[in-house]
Amino acid sequence: MNEHKFREYIYWGVTAVAVIVCCILVVMVFLRWNTVCAAAHTVNVILAPITYGAMLAYLLTPVYNAIRKATERLLKRMIKDQKERNKYTRTLATVGSLCFLGIVVIGLISMIIPQLWVSISGIINSIPAFAQTVSQWIEETFANNPEVESTVMGIYNQAMEKLISWTNSTADLIPNIERVVTGLYTGVINVIAWLKNVLIGVIVMLYLLNMKELLCAQAKKIVYGVFPVTVANNVIERFRFIHQVFGGFIIGKLIDSLIIGILTFMVMSFLQMPYTLLISVIIGVTNIIPFFGPFIGAIPSFIIIVLQNPVQGLYFLIFVIILQQVDGNIIGPKILGDSTGLSSFWVVFAILVFGGLWGFPGMLLGVPIMAVIYYIVSNVVTYSLKKRGIPETEIDYVNLERIDKHTNQPVYETTEKNKKQDEKSAGEA
């Protein structure tokens, strides 16, 4: 008995120390928040090439595997030695994956850059006509109120004069030439750093594509070496689920965005809207971001169209609303299914948190990462409750007052009405 109490005291003592240490760490994190953020940013910068490489390798794995299987079938009769044949299949799969990546990147650049230049030029040239249209609308709207018309027109004319002056000349840049040069220098440095990370990321991608089987085998070896067989099997099963969530979500989202981009191009071409290709690419790319993607893509697209033709801008807004409803209720669920199992709140939470940490990649990967975290936490909690004989489903905790420490069964809150009925029944008894 004394030994049991001693173990209990040790358990509670260790628990108390652990809680105190965790509290101290949390307080220190908040007190040194700027330092923690700086450290996280430094780690993020250092790991950027590896992150890019891992993302590219993950996305190109289906292409790599498909090319390797096809070349395996072609070379099976020509080369009998398996090791020799693997060298050729890996080389061809690697070259094919690089070519596929290059075609995608060059295709996007060739579509976006010329259209972007034409769009910017068209927007600048259309500003005077747009200004005249808005001016006429203000005059017609406030024709019965000259004082309001005079005030609004004064503000509007000043704004348009500055805008037209900025677009037609570079005189305003001369007083701020130092700031402009500094900004350009910083921008060039950032672009060079990003290109360096991408280049190294491509190299990392090639290594990961060719070593993924070996890396998976090493990871399994470590898991079975550290954990008991039952635990190791569960760990590997959990990682299979993580792979399923990530693969299903990312590939499905890419297909969904491609369909949305094509539909946008077809409808805009039919309606003869301006900048069809550019806006279709914008809508398709931003659609990759869950929940916020449609709004992010629709706002700049609307501005581009409305400067050219206000009526078509209104039509575009109506079309985008209809398209996103169709995508959210029909196309998206058909392709993605219930791949994450997250509620809308956790989707928004994941996008905001991971987007703030990692930018655009974080907004894309935040949802599957949160799905994995949610899945792991849910499994740990369910296992702990099941082990202690406590109810596991959420519905058992609605209106819960406490858990009986002797029976481990839920005790629910009693309303005043139920209390009176219980007292009446007890009195009758």
pLDDT per residue over 203-254, tens digit each?
998 888 888 888 889 989 998 888 888 888 888 888 888 887 777 777 778 8
CB atoms within 10 A of CB 234: 15
Whether 372 and 245 have beta carbons less than 8 Å apart is answered as: yes
pLDDT of res. 173? 45
**Under the phi-then-psi rule, with left for phi > 0, alpha for psi from -120 to 50, and beta for the rest, what region is 389?**
left
pLDDT tens readout for residues 125-151? 666 666 666 666 666 666 666 666 667
pLDDT of residue 137: 65
Angle of helix 360-387 versus helix 229-270 axis, rounded to 10: 140
Cβ-proximal residues to 344 (8 Å cutoff; 6+ apart), any chain = 291
List, as own/partner pairs, every contact residues 3-10 make where C-beta atoms lie below 8 angstroms and the sequence separation is at least 24, other chains included.
none
Alpha-carbon gap, residue 177 to 249, rounded angstroms: 47
Residues of the chain scoring pLDDT < 70 = 1-9, 11, 115-116, 118-150, 152-153, 156-157, 159-188, 333, 335-341, 344, 414-429
From residue 83, alpha-carbon distances to 90, 157, 215 in Å are 11, 75, 19
Q: How far apart are CA 280 and CA 262, in angstroms?
A: 7
Three-state SS for the chain is CHHHHHHHHHHHHHHHHHHHHHHHHHHHHHHCHHHHHHHHHHHHHHHHHHHHHHHHHHHHHHHHHHHHHHHHHHHCCCCCCHHHHHHHHHHHHHHHHHHHHHHHHHHHHHHHHHHHHHHHHHHHHHHHHHHHHHHHHHHHHCCCCHHHHHHHHHHHHHHHHHHHHHHHCCHHHCCCHHHHHHHHHHHHHHHHHHHHHHHHHHHHHHHHHHHHHHHHHHHHHHHHHHCCHHHHHHHHHHHHHHHHHHHHHHHHHHHHHHHHHHHHHHHHHHCCCCCHHHHHHHHHHHCCCCCCHHHHHHHHHHHHHHHHCHHHHHHHHHHHHHHHHHHHHHHHHHHHCCCCCCCHHHHHHHHHHHHHHHCHHHHHHHHHHHHHHHHHHHHHHHHHHHHCCCCCCHHHHCCEEEECCCCCCEEECCCHHHHHHHHHHHHHC
Spatial separation of the C-alpha atoms in residues 81 and 91, rounded to whole Å: 16
pLDDT tens-place string over residues 168-178: 554 444 455 55
- State residue 115's pLDDT score: 67
Whole-angstrom distance, CA of residue 105 vs CA of residue 109: 6
Spatial CA neighbour of 283 closest among 269, 271, 300: 300
> How many residues would you count in the chain?
429
315 and 308 Cβ atoms separated by less than 8 Å: no
Q: What is the distance between the alpha carbons of residues 40 and 33, in angstroms, rounded to a whole number?
A: 10
From residue 17, give the alpha-carbon distance in Å to each of 21, 23, 58, 214. Answer: 6, 10, 42, 41
The torsion region of residue 86 among left (phi > 0), alpha (psi -120 to 50) and beta comes to alpha
CA distance 68 to 398: 53
CA distance 152 to 353: 41
Q: Give residues with Cβ within 8 angstroms of 46, minimum separation 6.
A: none
Residue with tokens 């993950």: 58
Count of alpha carbons within 13 angstroms of residue 325, beta-carbon side: 6
Q: What is the pLDDT of residue 187?
A: 63
Residue (of 116, 402, 410) closest to 281 by Cα position: 116
